[in-house]
Amino acid sequence: MKRDHLQKTLVPIALLMSMLCWLPAALAADNCDKAEALFLNASKESDPAAQGALLEEAVQQCPTHAKAWNNLGTVYEKQKRLTAARNAYEKSHQGDPELGTPLAGLGDVAMKMGRFEEASKWYAQFLAFLQEEKLRGNPRGLGIFEGEYQAKYERVQLKQQILADSMAGVVPKEVLKRGLRPISPVDSVKEDLEAERLSLFVYFDFNSAELKAQGRAQLAELAATMLLPEYQEQAFLIEGHSDLFGEQDYNHNLSARRAKEVRDFLSASGVDPKRLQTKGLGETRPLVLEGDRQAQQINRRVEFVQLGVVQ
């Protein structure tokens, strides 16, 4: 009797346990169905803010919805929320490594952030993905982007080389001008203007905003580039960066002083100061996250962001 009673008791318990295991999966599937509906509605939405809101709700409902994360990354990127865009593209790639398009997004965001080595890696992976797509017959039609991203890959490699060469010596204007591009007056007023970014290692005295001789020589070449006919009306933002040693406030102030010193040198070399803006970013955008001062030398750089024609 006791054994029969125990067996009768165990059957409902086993049934209950199986239901408890099934319930979360069912709820997750239901939430992902809701997310898919939100994703489809977002794709029909023309207003970027409304599209972003729908996609944010979609990924809350289904955190593994790779396509929703990818499109949300695109929305953030257009809003110039680059860190949020990178996080969204990363989640998309993690959710579906075979999707491919997040690789392009990650490369574009890294390029805009001046992280050229990282951008080069993502572009290379995206180009490899496109080759695999071509072997499969290009089922998603992504092959049309091969030429565009091959050009981006070659350009980011050039920018990598310019930064590396500036650490070893002085990069001449003939090479510097290849790292920039003339921006027309029409393009200059576009909200979605993709700014051109050029990174250089400009030598300063240690813990100082005083330019070293090599730093002055490099800036002389840059001034000559800025005075070329195709660039003489272009505006630039000069960004100062620091390594991760020392206090954050001190590094921020030092990077701002160095950016202003660069502006003053360029102005003294004939570049109209109205074309030059400055900003100190301190240690907020390091290229190398660890290591000694020598390893982090590349973090102590100056970036020049081309803003288009002076308005």
Domains in the chain, CATH or no CATH each: 29-153 (1.25.40.10), 173-309 (3.30.1330.60)
What pairing do the DSSP bridges indicate for beta strands 196-200 and 276-282? unpaired
CB 205 within 8 A of CB 212: yes
Burial of 249 (0-12, 13-18, 19+ CB in 10 A): exposed
Distance (Å, rounded) from C-alpha 222 to C-alpha 148?
A: 28
Task: Tell me the backbone φ, ψ of residue 245, rounded to 5 degrees.
Answer: -90, 145
Q: How many residues does the chain have?
A: 311
Return the structure tokens found at 47. Answer: 């207003």
Q: Quote the crossing angle between the two packed helices 146-168 and 101-112, to the nearest 10°.
A: 30
pLDDT tens for the chain, residues 1 to 311 = 444 544 444 456 655 555 555 545 554 566 888 999 999 999 999 999 999 999 999 999 999 999 999 999 999 999 989 999 999 999 999 999 999 999 999 999 999 988 899 999 999 999 999 999 999 998 889 999 999 999 999 999 999 999 889 988 999 999 999 999 877 665 654 455 567 888 888 887 777 888 889 999 999 999 999 999 999 889 999 998 887 787 889 888 988 999 999 999 999 999 999 999 999 878 777 777 777 767 677 777 888 988 877 76
Task: Tell me the backbone φ, ψ of residue 114, rounded to 5 degrees.
Answer: 80, 15
pLDDT of residue 21: 55
Cα Rg of the chain (Å, integer): 26
Alpha helix ranges (H) inside 115-230: 116-135, 146-168, 173-176, 185-188, 213-226
How much is the pTM? 0.81
pLDDT of residue 12: 61
pLDDT of residue 10: 47
* Dihedral sign for Cα atoms in the order 82, 83, 88, 92: positive
pLDDT of residue 61: 93
pLDDT of residue 23: 46
